[in-house]
């Protein structure tokens, strides 16, 4: 009997059925482009999610409006452009976050494939590792995005009145020091690790499950699988998103100390003061952002890479 082949058999990426011949640098670049294009489409959902999540923080005694009324209130006071506040910072963040997260995921997955078969565990490991590294790289842009997107929602006397992405970055650095860019980094890392694991690790399984249910059209299958995967990681990561937002958006107290100092402390404080609803405030637009961004990003990345291959082979 011939000995079994002990070499690992790598499986293709969950988001890339066939990408042979694409250089690693192009994979990084297309991951970033896909993330940026998708973010432009879903940025208003992010603005609604974060603002509603932080509404209780800026006005503790005020009742938070229902989602539709909340969106209409922003449009009435600030115009449609209010939903796009911080878009530049969001795209800037994706340039680092999407590029590093999905680019590094493929690198780590391929390295693991040299020593073991590419299975769900390998994808979970690669997703966790790449998510953590991407969070550290993109945290300054994340803090800037949160500040820009929510400054207009504060009472006038509390606004920082940033003039744009560059002004916000320089003022944060000058007024609060470089470590201010890493407030909320731990919950951001935790969230990024969970997103990497739940999104990438479950995407293939959901695609197969929907095929068994008769959802065989490629576009429909990808959409359903991505939205279901997005729902799963939205449910898991929303509390950490809430903690990250509070930690990144807070101002020092009069004595110079910070109200929210650690991820666990922030989660506990929110839960005790506002209950479970406080941790999931703004969930609907958050899910719309996560699921929508997942679908659009995969579609954009696949099409950009297909275009690259067609140009190279022509």
Q: Is residue 15 part of a domain?
A: no
Which pLDDT does position 8 carry in this prediction?
47
**Would you say residue 60 has pLDDT above 60?**
no
User: Is 269 buried (19+), middle (13-18) or exposed (0-12) by CB count in 10 A?
Assistant: middle
Q: What is the largest CA-CA distance in the chain?
A: 80
Mean pLDDT for the stretch of residues 21-44: 91
Domain annotation covers residue 4: no
In a domain, 8, yes or no: no
Q: How many domains does the chain have?
A: 1
From the list 148, 129, 149, 147, the residue with the least C-alpha distance to 137 is 129
Rounded to whole angstroms, the Cα distance separating 8 from 225 reads 27
Q: How confident is the model at residue 56 (pLDDT cuts 50, 70, 90)?
A: low
What pTM did the predictor assign? 0.70
Residue 12 pLDDT class (50, 70, 90 cuts): very low
| Contact present, 294 and 226 (Cβ < 8 Å) | yes
Confidence class for position 61, pLDDT limits 50, 70, 90: low
pLDDT at 47 over 60: yes
Give the per-residue pLDDT at 11. Answer: 46
Kindly tell me the sign of the dihedral angle through the C-alpha atoms of 207, 210, 216, 222.
negative
Mean pLDDT, the chain, rounded, equals 82
Asked if residue 214 belongs to a domain, the reply is: yes
pLDDT at 62 over 90: no
Q: For 106-110, 274-278, 298-302, which range has the lowest pLDDT when averaged over its residues?
A: 298-302
Any domain includes 17: no
Q: Backbone dihedral region of 299: left (phi > 0), alpha (psi from -120 to 50 degrees) or beta? A: alpha
Euclidean distance between CA atoms 291 and 288, whole angstroms? 5
pLDDT tens sequence across 110-158: 899 899 887 878 888 888 999 999 999 888 888 888 887 777 767 777 7
What does the DSSP 8-state code read for residue 4? Answer: P
| pLDDT level of residue 33 (50, 70, 90 thresholds) | very high
pLDDT, position 241: 83
Q: Which domain holds residue 214?
A: 24-251+258-307
What does the pLDDT read at residue 308? 92
Top mean-pLDDT range of 36-40, 44-48, 152-156, 206-210 = 36-40
CATH at residue 145: 1.50.40.10
The model's pLDDT over 248-291, given as tens digits with 9 standing for 90+, comes to 777 788 887 888 888 889 999 999 988 998 899 888 888 888 88
Q: Is 5 within the bounds of a domain?
A: no
Q: Per the domain annotation, does 287 fall within a domain?
A: yes
Q: What is the pLDDT of residues 184-230, one digit of tens each?
A: 888 889 878 887 888 766 776 787 789 889 988 777 887 888 888 88
Cα 219 to Cα 99: distance, rounded to the nearest angstrom: 24
User: Could you tell me the pLDDT band of residue 14, with boundaries at 50, 70 and 90?
Assistant: very low
Residue 13 resides in a domain: no
Give the model's pLDDT for residue 7.
Answer: 46
Whether residue 59 is predicted with pLDDT greater than 70 in this model: the reply is no
């Amino acid at each position: 009997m011939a000995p079994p082949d002990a070499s690992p058999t790598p499986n293709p990426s969950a988001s890339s059925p066939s990408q042979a011949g694409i250089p690693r640098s192009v994979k990084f670049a297309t991951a970033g482009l896909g993330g940026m294009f998708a973010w432009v489409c879903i940025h208003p959902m992010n603005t609604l999610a974060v603002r509603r999540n932080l509404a209780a923080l800026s006005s503790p005694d005020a009742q938070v409006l229902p989602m539709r009324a909340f969106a209409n209130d922003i449009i009435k006071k600030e115009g449609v452009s209010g939903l796009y506040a911080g878009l530049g910072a969001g795209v800037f963040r994706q340039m680092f976050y999407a590029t590093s997260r999905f680019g590094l995921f493929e690198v780590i997955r391929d390295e693991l494939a040299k020593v073991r078969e590419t299975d769900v565990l390998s994808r979970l490991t690669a997703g966790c590792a790449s998510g953590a590294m991407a969070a550290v790289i993109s945290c300054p842009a994340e803090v800037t995005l949160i500040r820009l997107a929510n400054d207009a929602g504060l009472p006038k006397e509390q606004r920082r009145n940033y003039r744009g992405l560059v002004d916000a970055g320089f003022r944060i650095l000058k007024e609060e020091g470089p470590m201010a860019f890493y407030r909320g980094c731990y919950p951001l890392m935790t969230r990024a690790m969970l997103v990497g694991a739940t999104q990438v690790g479950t995407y293939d399984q959901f695609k197969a499950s929907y095929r068994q249910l008769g959802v065989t059209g490629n576009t429909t299958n990808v959409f359903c699988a991505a939205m279901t995967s997005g729902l799963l990681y939205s449910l898991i990561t929303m509390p950490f998103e809430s903690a990250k937002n509070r930690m990144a958006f807070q101002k020092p107290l009069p004595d110079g100390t910070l109200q929210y100092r650690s991820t666990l402390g922030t989660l506990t404080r929110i839960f005790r003061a506002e209950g479970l609803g406080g941790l999931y405030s703004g969930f609907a637009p958050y899910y719309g952002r996560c699921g929508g961004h997942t679908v659009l990003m995969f579609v954009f990345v696949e099409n950009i890479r297909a275009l690259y291959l067609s140009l190279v082979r022509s």
